[in-house]
Amino acid sequence: MLIDFFYTLRAAKLPVSVKEFLTLLEAVKAGVIDQSVDEFYFLARTTLVKDEAHFDKFDRAFGAYFKGVEMLADFTKEVPLEWLRKNLELELSAEEKAKIEKMGWDELMETLKKRFEEQKERHEGGNKWIGTGGTSPFGAYGQNPQGIRIGQEKGRNKSAVKVWDQRAYKDYDDNLELGTRNIKVALRRLRRFAREGAAEELDLDDTIHSTAANAGLLDIKLVPERHNKVKVLLLMDVGGTMDEHIHRVEELFSATKTEFKHLEFYYFHNCVYDFMWKNNKRRFSEKTATWDIIRKYNKDYKLIFIGDATMSPYEILQPGGSVEYNNEEPGAEWIQRLTNAFPKYAWINPEPQGVWQYRQSISVMQQLVNQRMFPLTLAGLEGAMRLLSK
């Protein structure tokens, strides 16, 4: 029973034992759950997955085996879905786009509030109401240089200053098998070895010398194992435009966990604000205050940001600028606090360096981190590690 499911999990490189699988079968046989795919999903994940880092692998394997199962989560949206039915995507010329005027932040928020009070039905292709395929700053699949994107699957023009949607992000997979050793080689520039802990490693030279001095009687000498003493605090942008860079960031994350014994990591979205998180599926229920992170780790930690810094400048400079909630203080304040708390820092940007000059938010972030921004390339990583090792 379900033996193919077990092989599917093993093929996905999940460390599932036969004993754990038998426990799952016993639970099913005992009637612990009803005949529901949802309940079987949670039971299987509870009995078979021992580490939260494997949740994403389990989800992919589960979906591959149970093809066509219903969604395991149903997010309720406050904006009526009928208003956002996709019938067309408006494409404008550069001249037509230039004619569309931007609203300021305060005007944008106040106008959205009025639209909710006034609008009673679906709209499409216009320039005022919440809808689709138009030039209105509110809705989806349209064109506006600065608006609030509502209910769209993903960004098209990367010009939204706020996103009205509940999005689920995935943790980066730290067990990804690397196709190249180049990243590890670059990270090795940031090394400072020390021998700490119990003496468990054979010191061959000292053993030979001591044995010879002891008239040939074996005198074994042990020393503590050598470890990289460098401490790293890794802050990673996740979701949104970072979805385009998942594979490369996973490679970097995997290599970082291999190279540094003292590694702490947290996630943020677009810009750092007053909290971060370690598990994307519980990012609102298990938050870690940024102040607590600053107080917890000493100045000897090397701070590394990983993010494309591609967002609306409001998200960095404006209180309430976050696309997910109304932050009381601008992200720029938190970036400055972090860089002051950890003097050795660098920003790794997976966006091609050739487009940096065309993204206003990247220029703003470069100024905040004192131009310590490096591309996610071999040369960029080597430059960042060289700076952090000084």
Q: If you ran DSSP here, which 8-state letter would residue 49 be given? A: -
Structure tokens at 138: 């509110």
Q: What is the pLDDT along the chain (390 residues), one digit of tens a residue?
A: 578 888 888 888 888 888 888 888 888 888 888 777 778 888 888 889 887 778 888 888 887 787 644 433 333 345 555 555 554 455 555 565 554 556 565 666 677 667 666 666 665 666 666 656 666 666 556 565 666 666 555 555 555 555 555 555 666 565 544 344 556 666 666 655 444 556 677 788 888 888 888 888 888 887 776 665 788 899 999 988 888 888 888 888 888 887 787 889 999 999 999 999 998 877 778 899 999 999 999 998 999 999 999 998 999 998 988 888 888 999 999 999 999 999 999 999 999 988 898 889 999 999 999 999 999 888 888 889 889 888
Residue (of 347, 349, 345) closest to 376 by Cα position:
349
Under CATH, to which class is 182-188+229-389 assigned?
alpha beta
Other CB atoms within a 10 A radius of the CB of residue 362 amount to: 23
CA distance 378 to 343: 23
Q: Domain map of the chain by residue range?
A: 3-65, 81-164, 182-188+229-389, 195-227
